[in-house]
Structure 1
């Protein structure tokens, strides 16, 4: 698989986005964090459509309707990303050529290969680009996830999905170009078998893994990236170079939502399955106190942090909960501040939406806010945008 590409070239491309960091830091505005209130519901123009994916169909046919509606946005997004890579010189063209001509070799190593082939057929994209599209969501993801319990013990699970750090800062519009393009691809998916919902999830159309999902009446699940030398970029490189022993994060979450039938079964699966990269899995159940953050290394969990009798919520961004967050990216402190301002008595879809709409929990990388309630199987998703002044992340 790697006869036309070498490890150094892959590393060069994976890290090219970091070159714009100094420029972006100069854009960081001063402001005092404010806990928002009364923002729910947003204008209906920011709502997300829901599609049904029938798991009884052959994989090649499952995403036809979604691709019919969202194929142009996916093609546009990939063309932007390819141009972003090309801007760093002729050497990177070899990566693009490799991806375009080795799709079948790459897809054969991944779950949902038939679904990827179906997406390629429906959009006219090279199969290699569909594979690449499904891989790069393992990187550049900043998130905030919350599981909260109201005064009656009812559990809510919500998250902001922040994506696109270092992927094309536009100095004219003070925005991330890839983040802006991603907002046009967001969809809710109702996965059904025998005409019954198996689970619901939020997707960037064309991405087959799951970052946000609910199995009605059983559990809720979100995934946040964990920045650690043990995995991440290096895990992707190892996969390209032929080591396929670990599971992709987003594919593991989808398989968990599809195949696990209890909170404890899901927790065990997310704790012990070998992975390609470290991650945080935020898991919510149906009973009071069933909320956990599973901090993963590649081999297994290094920590499972669960709600106890003195806790009414649990919150995770992108840093180990026992460590201080990076000073340039402290979304944790204002998120805690706003949750405590909300209070347990006001925990609801509306209340948590306000918390996740408070800066810098809401920032220029935020693509969407998702709100879930496990008992009813409720999932709603809203496109987010951050008005100035706003942190780049």
Structure 2
């Protein structure tokens, strides 16, 4: 039987009704900003002038014990969720899969494996995480001076080990100490900054100063990431771009907002996705809704034609459709942006909206605020005290 994420969420709601109480009704947060500095995410440098085998060494040496704990749990949980047949096929092919990854990702994975004392196949499994299990909320806004500001909550861990007693997702809790702020440097200069997880070589959240900011949100589809992985492994269909590898290439080599938009719109993808892209000029903000194939669905939703015009909110559902009742982060986010008002558009407003339940929930690992024009990039670990929605 095929695993259906949306059906799982509905069943989860029915079985855990006590998690969804009347006290969870959204009240716009107004005082969460500024966040506590104790929750700032630690900074590490990735030196792109080093060999791919060596560039992750300091980070992995620091974090390898927690990485061991996480990958052990992920392997066990994925086996129970994907089904024995699919999971066995995947695990048998992970070594050969790793060897087919484009340069420098295979080499980086081998280096991470060496410094963490984990097999390359396991690090490869860890790096396909986004293609399957990430829920998120991203917000773009244009402030009164025409500056584009960008914020996101990275939510992950759904389906992966709900602890009913403590009301937490096991994988989400294990990811907190692995969350890092990265500066990618070349010839001593910062090329871009990212929020990521130790051992993960792709890009989910990043800014390139004077160019663009970028975040990824998962998009549900019958033809999703599992299908792309199987095609890559079984049919050797390597013309697809791994979503988080593509975004890293864009961050390293993209010239400007328009260049990044074109690449993200036209590349063939391993998984469907929402690309949330912010620029440096008024009106340079868009959400790119993508199916896997570049000839399939492409929907551009910009600050010029969005429902809010001065802001855009993207969760994990197409903006032209109603979100499901059991996972509606969009409605409270939109409401709180409108309540805040265009004259107050700022990183402060975005952080407060991202701190409003259920936009903030038990899956939320971190919040990042960024601006391509100013180069602002700050990230904080997030925790959602009870009462709080599971997602």
The within-5 A match list for 1:114-129 is 114-129=107-122
Q: 2:143 aligns with which of 140, 150, 163?
A: 150
Structure 1 match to 2:298? 302
Deviation per CA, 1:218-239, whole angstroms, max 9, x where unpaired? Answer: 0000110110112232222222
**In 1: Cα distance, 2:44 partner to 2:313 partner:** 29
Unmatched 5+ residue regions in structure 1? 1-7
**In 1: Cα distance, 2:17 partner to 2:381 partner:** 25
Structure 2 match to 1:278? 272
Contact kept in structure 2, 1:63 and 1:119, CA below 8 Å: yes
Q: 1:80 aligns with which of 73, 81, 88?
A: 73
**In 1: Cα distance, 2:88 partner to 2:122 partner:** 9
Structure 2 match to 1:365? 363
> How far 1:104 moved relative to its partner?
3.8
Structure 2 match to 1:5? none
**In 2: Cα distance, 1:150 partner to 1:15 partner:** 35
Contact kept in structure 1, 2:19 and 2:387, CA below 8 Å: no
Q: Residues 182 and 374 of structure 1: is their aligned pair in 2 closer, same or farther, counting only changes over 3 Å? A: same
**In 2: Cα distance, 1:298 partner to 1:94 partner:** 20
Contact kept in structure 2, 1:189 and 1:202, CA below 8 Å: yes
**In 1: Cα distance, 2:122 partner to 2:230 partner:** 16
1:288 aligns with 2:282: yes
The within-5 A match list for 1:59-98 is 59-85=52-78, 92=84, 95=87
Q: 1:326 aligns with which of 316, 321, 324?
A: 324
Q: Residues 143 and 94 of structure 1: is their aligned pair in 2 closer, same or farther, counting only changes over 3 Å? A: closer
User: Which range is displaced more, 274-283 or 25-34?
Assistant: 25-34
Q: Residues 391 and 191 of structure 1: is their aligned pair in 2 closer, same or farther, counting only changes over 3 Å? A: same
Q: Residues 88 and 352 of structure 1: is their aligned pair in 2 closer, same or farther, counting only changes over 3 Å? A: closer
1:349 aligns with 2:340: no
> How far 1:50 moved relative to its partner?
1.1
Contact kept in structure 2, 1:144 and 1:224, CA below 8 Å: yes
Per the normalisation by structure 1, the TM-score is 0.91
What secondary structure, in the 3-state scheme, does the structure 1 residue paired with 2:228 have?
A: helix
**In 2: Cα distance, 1:307 partner to 1:78 partner:** 39
**In 1: Cα distance, 2:10 partner to 2:279 partner:** 41
**In 2: Cα distance, 1:98 partner to 1:338 partner:** 42
Contact kept in structure 2, 1:219 and 1:284, CA below 8 Å: yes
**In 2: Cα distance, 1:298 partner to 1:34 partner:** 37
> How far 1:27 moved relative to its partner?
2.8
**In 2: Cα distance, 1:25 partner to 1:162 partner:** 21
> How far 1:313 moved relative to its partner?
1.0
User: Which range is displaced more, 300-309 or 329-338?
Assistant: 300-309
**In 2: Cα distance, 1:302 partner to 1:127 partner:** 35
1:253 aligns with 2:247: yes
Q: Residues 19 and 341 of structure 1: is their aligned pair in 2 closer, same or farther, counting only changes over 3 Å? A: closer
**In 2: Cα distance, 1:340 partner to 1:224 partner:** 22
**In 2: Cα distance, 1:148 partner to 1:345 partner:** 11
**In 2: Cα distance, 1:315 partner to 1:15 partner:** 20
> How far 1:126 moved relative to its partner?
0.7
**In 2: Cα distance, 1:229 partner to 1:183 partner:** 30
Contact kept in structure 1, 2:19 and 2:388, CA below 8 Å: no
Deviation per CA, 1:280-321, whole angstroms, max 9, x where unpaired? Answer: 001000001110010101112521111117711111111111
Structure 2 match to 1:244? 238
Structure 2 match to 1:316? 314
Contact kept in structure 2, 1:13 and 1:92, CA below 8 Å: no
Structure 2 match to 1:166? 159
Contact kept in structure 2, 1:27 and 1:392, CA below 8 Å: yes
1:182 aligns with 2:175: yes
**In 2: Cα distance, 1:96 partner to 1:26 partner:** 36
What secondary structure, in the 3-state scheme, does the structure 2 residue paired with 1:370 have?
A: strand
Aligned residue pairs total 382
**In 1: Cα distance, 2:81 partner to 2:205 partner:** 33
Contact kept in structure 2, 1:294 and 1:304, CA below 8 Å: yes
> How far 1:15 moved relative to its partner?
11
What secondary structure, in the 3-state scheme, does the structure 2 residue paired with 1:203 have?
A: strand
Contact kept in structure 2, 1:371 and 1:380, CA below 8 Å: yes
**In 2: Cα distance, 1:32 partner to 1:325 partner:** 17
1:214 aligns with 2:210: no
> How far 1:16 moved relative to its partner?
12
Q: Residues 168 and 20 of structure 1: is their aligned pair in 2 closer, same or farther, counting only changes over 3 Å? A: farther
Contact kept in structure 1, 2:241 and 2:270, CA below 8 Å: yes
